[in-house]
Amino acid sequence: MHDYPIILFLAILTLAYGLISRVSERMPITAPMIFVTVGIAVGPLGLGWFDSTLEDSVIRLVAEITLVSILFVEASTIDLKALLRERDLSIRLLCIGLPLTMILSTFAAAALFPEMSWWLLALMAFMLSPTDAALGQAVVTSERVPPTIRRAIATESGLNDGLVLPPILICMAALGAGASHVEVEGPSYWTAFIAAQLLLGPLAGSLVGWVGGFAVDYCATRALMSPTFQRLAAVCLAVVAWALAEEIGGNGYIAAFVGGLLLGIRHESVRERVQDYAEAEGEQLTLFVFLVFGLAMVPTFIDLWTWESWLYALLCLTVLRMLPVFLSLFGSPLSAGDRLFVGWFGPRGIASVLYLEMVVLDLGAGGMDQMLGVVVLTVLLSVFLHGLSAVPLTRLYGQGAAPAPPVLTERSGAQN
């Protein structure tokens, strides 16, 4: 299939949504919900206008650039010094909540899918562990929610997708990932793999992030670089870090994340312009991925959704997320209701979709159809459940009541 029709359709859809975007901000209907729904409607499950697959060249290219850009830009928004100095809720969520979520999700998957290997179970759990604050945008932008909670949710979302990358890559290696499909056996392979992925990637990323950021900072503050190109610097630096790491045998995605984390820009106004990329160009790439999600991913795996898939997806969005968050915030100033509120707003979104695409491109879907189907179902439910609940729950929270999420009412009462 030629790529032009879907690109044309995306451009028209983005423009049409943009024309009413101000109106949609006041409604519990998010842009990802609209793009996923439209994707399903025009794909094989609906009108059949498009019949894209995950292997289409344009989809692969956009997915890779989107993942690299998101990892870089989100990491660049984190103030590491402030994060370590404050030791706030984000540290608890990332250092306690995230590992607990990964562990509990793996064992829950083993109970529901005993036919899967442990590597496959862990890969599925890890892919579904990172959160996407954009799916509950009303929460992180609302003045009704205390700044500490908004910052915690946003910081967690910005860092956890990069933190789960190394274990995801290890699982992929154990399942035969990589262009050469090297058989995983013996300590020598693991030593070489860990050295390449966890050392060379960060080395390339830190070099590009610091040197590239310093160059942008220097030229921008001396009126040598226009604001337009300061914005474009984000994707340029992200791609350079990614490509350099791949060239020297490291992992490009880890490099992009580390590059953003160590971005050498000191002037706040320059850093804000660089990060503005995510507000426009990055948003368009993200919406394209959600369109493809509804267009190609949902139709591909919908027939594989068993009752076990539905149960695990719901558990991922509730107990397997909320219990670790509740425990990780124990002893903090937050009430039980606050902790449940933070736990519920851990949507599974763009990172999980892009990791799924990465796995399919490197490993193929053969033998992993059921696992990939669970990931797609979980993200689909999250897009709508978190999108629809963000505005009303935020309003209730602002009135002094942090209610338990709809799907966890009884359990929440038991925990309190």
Instruction: Give per-residue pLDDT as tens, 313-360.
Output: 999 999 999 999 999 998 888 888 889 999 998 888 888 988 898 888
Model confidence band, residue 152 (pLDDT cutoffs 50, 70, 90): confident
CA 234 to chain centre: 18
Name which of 91, 87, 80 is nearest 261 in CA terms.
80
Burial class for 269, CB neighbours closer than 10 Å (0-12, 13-18, 19+)? exposed
| Whether the Cβ atoms of residue 66 and residue 285 lie closer than 8 Å to each other | yes
| Whether the Cβ atoms of residue 298 and residue 75 lie closer than 8 Å to each other | no
State pTM to two decimals: 0.83
Model confidence band, residue 414 (pLDDT cutoffs 50, 70, 90): very low
Measured CA to CA, the distance from residue 72 to residue 242 in angstroms comes to 10
Compute φ and ψ for 401, nearest 5 degrees.
-120, 120
Q: What is the per-residue pLDDT across 100-139, written as a single tens digit (0 to 9) for each?
A: 999 999 999 999 999 999 999 999 999 999 998 778 777 8
- Cα–Cα separations (whole angstroms), residue 178 to 67, 89, 246, 322: 18, 37, 12, 34
Measured CA to CA, the distance from residue 62 to residue 7 in angstroms comes to 11
| Whether the Cβ atoms of residue 169 and residue 190 lie closer than 8 Å to each other | no
Query: Does residue 304 carry a pLDDT above 80?
Result: yes
Give the per-residue pLDDT at 107: 96
Query: Does residue 61 carry a pLDDT above 50?
Result: yes
Model confidence band, residue 408 (pLDDT cutoffs 50, 70, 90): very low
| Whether the Cβ atoms of residue 73 and residue 276 lie closer than 8 Å to each other | no
Task: Give me the percent of the chain exceeding a pLDDT of 90.
Answer: 27
CA 38 to chain centre: 21
Measured CA to CA, the distance from residue 123 to residue 374 in angstroms comes to 12
Measured CA to CA, the distance from residue 205 to residue 389 in angstroms comes to 37
Give the per-residue pLDDT at 283: 77
Query: Does residue 62 carry a pLDDT above 90?
Result: no
Give the per-residue pLDDT at 381: 96
Which one has a higher pLDDT value, 371 or 71? 371
